Structure 1
Amino acid sequence: MDTMRERFVSVTSRALDEDPRLALVLAEITADGFRPARERHPDRVINVGIREQLLIGVGGGLALTGLRPVVHTFAAFLVERPFEQVKLDFGHQGTGGVLVSSHASHDWPAGGYTHMAPGDVALLDTLDGWTVHVPGHPDEAEALLRHAYAAGDDKVYVRLSQQSNAAARPIGPAPGPLTVREGGAGVVLAVGPLLDNVLAAVEGLDVTVLYAPTVRPFDDAALRRAVGRSAADVVLVEPYLAGTSTAPAAHALRDTPHRILALGVGRAELRRYGTLEEHTAAHGLSPAPLRKRITAFLSGRYA
């Protein structure tokens, strides 16, 4: 199976052939994969070099000309480093585009902390009007990328990961949470590539599992429907900074007594390289620690 990043290259290369409004802006990352597309469309495939602020500025400028820019690099260099340009060149200027990241929270531990961005979605939450997709499988990534490219002039962030669930879930024309299973003791909302870990963690537990490949805008109605079928205990399991979706989940349930447990990447820096799987486990997001924390929370013993 190809990775989400590899699927991004193939899908976007075809989309550039099909849609003359689409333009791609790179900052060296993944440039080799797009060499054939650049040869076919030298005016719409632009590599600015290792200049991330310029990367965003060029994307915003292309949007002002009426093009639909697709802007790509690692998440740390796409959202964190040029955040002022994201805020101004897209938000303040009122332009739209598609930011496509890879290697977000801890996908490439050998790159060190400079290449990790567990706070990217939380940072975008400080801005208005961003749609955020977090696919859990390359097939979902393809569907969400195509949806983003055709989304008029919206501002869209597509967060690709090296992690992947074993199977893709269906994604409709209006991506939203899917009910994977139903139960009566609580609701567990799994985001993107953590679905398989969540399903393994809650095996045998009487809980509803929602799967969210799109996290912004937050689907208030879907969470309220799920809580209506079960107890108002909600566990959020997200592949980025723990607590990122606590506020929108609490807002969705503002008229319902509830408890929320937010699980995700911790704030403490893990100062050993290790592997992606080791970092996932260290942050408590592999099946065994997830099960321990979820069962403790549902039983009222969580501290």
Structure 2
Amino acid sequence: MDTMRDRFVPVLSRLLDEDPRVALVLAEIGAAAFEDTALRHPDRVINVGIREQLMLGVGAGLALTGLRPVIHTFASFLVERPFEQVKLDLGHQGAGAVLVSAGASFDVSSGGFTHMAPGDIALLDTLDGWTVHVPGHPDEAEALLRHAVGAGDDKVYVRLSVRSNTAAVPVDGSRLRTLREGRSGVVVAVGPVLDAVLAGTEGLDVTVLYATTVRPFDAAALRHAVAAAGTDVVLVEPYLAGTSAGAVTEALAEVPHRVLGLGVGRRELRRYGSPEEHAAAHGLDAGALRERIGAFLAGRAVVTG
């Protein structure tokens, strides 16, 4: 199966062919994959070199001229390094763009901490008006990318990962999907952690909701699930643990509830290893999830990393 980033290249190339508003801005990373596309559209495929702040500034300038820029590189270089430009060049100026990241939290684990970005969505949460998509399968990534590019002039972040679920779920760019129904709690699985969540909760009497769009958060679907399954909510996110806890609290402001946020811990893992080893070290494999979710639902103490 191809990866989400493998899918991104041909899909974006077709969008550039089909829509004269679409532009692509790169900072060297990924440029080789778009060489043929750049020959066809030299005015709308721009590689600024290793200048991530400039990449955001150029994208914002294109947006202000009426184009729909897609800006792409690793998450740590797209959100964290040029954050001031995300805040000012896009947000302050009211310029829309589609930021498409690769690398996720620890996909490029051999590259070290410079290439890891578990805090990217938490950082975007400090800004207003961002839509955030976290696909869990290449088919979902394609659907959400097309949705993002066609979303008027909104500010959209699409977070790609090499980690993928075995099967795609139909997504619409807004709603949580109910994959299982239970009576003893609600587990919200985000993007590529779904397979581990389904395996880890097998046989447990819980409702499993699947999220690929986390901002705006589908509060209505969560409230509906809690009304039937109880007010214990577990968030399993493939980035910084607890990132969406505030969204859950806001959604359930009128309902007494408990929330457990599972995800990437704050402690830096300096033995980089593989992405799979990182997931296990952060307790995001099926066995650890089963133990932690079971303990929470039973009222026992949970180790959250």
Question: 1:209, 1:91 → 2: CA distance?
Answer: 34
- Counterpart Cα distance in 2 of 1:259 and 1:124: 25
Q: What CA distance in whole angstroms lies between the structure 2 residues aligned with 1:4 and 1:36? A: 20
Aligned to 1:169: 169
Q: CA deviation at 1:256?
A: 0.6
State the alpha-carbon separation in 2 of the partners of residues 260 and 171 from structure 1: 25
Aligned equivalent of 1:184? 183
- Per-residue displacement from partner, 1:172-221 (whole Å, max 9, x unpaired)? 3x431100010000000000000000000000000000000000001110
Q: How does 1:218-237 map to 2 (within 5 A)?
A: 218-237=217-236
- Unmatched tracts of structure 2, length 5 or more: none
Separation (CA, whole Å) in 2 of partners of 1:192 and 1:216: 13
Tell me what 1:133 maps to: 133
The CA deviation at 1:286 is 0.5
Matched, 1:143 2:143: yes
Q: What CA deviation, in whole Å up to 9, does each residue of 1:28-60 have, x standing for no partner?
A: 111111111101000000000000000100000
Q: Which amino acid aligns with 2:90?
A: F
Match of 2:10 in 1: 10
- Using the TM superposition, give the Cα deviation of residue 17 of structure 1 relative to its aligned residue in structure 2, in angstroms: 0.1
Is residue 244 from structure 1 mapped to residue 272 from structure 2 by the alignment?
no
Identity %: 73
Match in the other structure for 1:255: 254
Q: 1:279: which partner in 2?
A: 278
Count of equivalent residues: 302
Pairs within 5 Å for 1:1-303: 1-172=1-172, 174-303=173-302
Provide the C-alpha distance between the structure 2 equivalents of 1:176 and 1:50, rounded to a whole number of angstroms: 37
How far apart are residue 79 of structure 1 and its match? 0.1
Following superposition, the deviation at residue 273 of structure 1 comes to 1.7
RMSD of the TM alignment (CA)?
0.6
Deviation at 1:241, TM superposition (A): 0.3
Q: Report the Cα distance in structure 1 between the residues aligned to 2:194 and 2:104, rounded to whole angstroms.
A: 17
Q: Which runs of 4+ in 1 moved over 4 A?
A: none
Question: How far apart, in 2, do the equivalents of 1:178 and 1:218 lie?
Answer: 12
Q: AA paired with 2:291?
A: K
Deviation (angstroms), 1:104:
1.7
* Aligned partner letter, 1:6: D
CA shift, 1:302, in A, is 2.2
Letter in 2 for 1:279: H
TM-score by length of 1: 0.99
Structure 1: stretches of 5+ with no match in the other structure: none
* SS, match of residue 36 in structure 1: helix
- Using structure 2 for the length normalisation, give the TM-score: 0.98
